[in-house]
Chains A and B, each alone.
Chain A
Amino acid sequence: MEILGKFGINPVLLIAQIVNFLIILFIFKKFALKPIMQVLKNREKTIKEGLQQAEDARKLLGEASEKERELLRNAQSEAKLLLEDAKKHRTEVLHDVEMRTKEQAEKILKEAKEQIVIETKAAEKRLSGHISQLAIELLEKSSQELFSGKEQTLVIDRALRTLKKKAD
């Protein structure tokens, strides 16, 4: 006791302090530790959930990105195919149009040539008829000077002979 006294420690006061400490420890454990632990547990759970959600979100984002890349690859592939198909189709259409235009042009040319031949023939026919008519008219006008009574008699005698032959 004396030794404690030499070190400045009052045993009564020490015991009182120990009792006080135990009382406060009991009260703390009874009323404050449980809610604090509950709050900490809740907080830990929320953080864990947040982390899990973040992880899920990251995974989802990764999957979405992968899907997006896949879709993009597919779209690019399809677009490429479509483009190639369109190019092929365009070439075919161009070739077809070119062929049809060529055929049409040849047909028009052929028809035009035929029409020219027909029209030329018709013009020649008209011209020939016109010239013949003019020649006949010219002969009509000058027949009296061209043919004498002798020629008239010769033709009429010939006509008479023909008629007699027919009658026989």
Chain B
Amino acid sequence: MNRQTLKQMVLESHINGELNVAKINKIVDLLTKKELRLYIKALKNWEKKNKITIEVADKTGFDLSGFEDLFPDKKMVVTVDPSLMLGLRLQNNDDIFEMSLKNTLEKITEHIEEQYD
């Protein structure tokens, strides 16, 4: 199984950017154990590359359109994390961008602790 085939299988596993369980089951039945491992890894990588996770402190009134304009080709997943208190945490592939009150407070705490070192 070459890289091209693997990419094709991953693309075939999606319908409108969403994973399709029926299609995945069909593909899995045709694969050996080793191929299955490669396929799962490729699916995870695809998800990682094509998905943006946004954690917000409060979903009320949250407008996703600005982020969709910024990352037009990526799928958005929004979750709520009240511990952020205010603001958001955004994960794009391996990059994490955070602008939250929790993060600010943690930075202040770290700065205070550094004063004692």
Contact = CB atoms under 8 A, between A and B. Distances in A.
Give the secondary structure class of A's interface.
Answer: helix
B86 A152 contact: yes
B108 A132 contact: yes
B113 A155 contact: no
Given A132-B112, A153-B61, A144 B82 contact: yes
Contacts, number: 87
A15 interface: no
A102 interface: no
B53 to A, nearest CB: 14
Contacts of A164: 70
B11 interface: no
A160 to B, nearest CB: 5
19 contacts: A125-B116, A128-B113, A129-B109, A140-B83, A140-B102, A143-B82, A144-B82, A147-B57, A147-B58, A147-B86, A152-B60, A155-B87, A155-B88, A155-B99, A156-B63, A159-B97, A160-B67, A163-B97, A167-B70
Contact of A156 (B88, B108, B113): B88
Interface residues of B, number: 30
A109 B82 CA distance: 51
Interface in B38-86: 56-58, 60-63, 66-67, 70, 82-83, 85-86
Given A140-B85, A143-B86, A121 B101 contact: no
A87 interface: no
B112 A159 contact: no
Contacts of A128: 109, 112-113, 116
Contact of A159 (B58, B83, B88, B116): B88
Given A144-B58, A167-B70, 14 more contacts: A128-B112, A128-B116, A129-B112, A129-B113, A132-B105, A132-B109, A140-B82, A143-B82, A143-B86, A149-B58, A151-B86, A152-B87, A153-B61, A162-B99
B19 interface: no
A13 B102 CA distance: 175
Contacts of B117: 125
A133 B106 CA distance: 9
Contacts of B85: 139-140, 143, 147
B71 to A, nearest CB: 9
Nearest to A158: B99
B97 A136 contact: no
Contacts of B9: none
A39 interface: no
Given A121-B116, A155-B88, A159-B90, A149 B105 contact: no
A164 B61 CA distance: 21
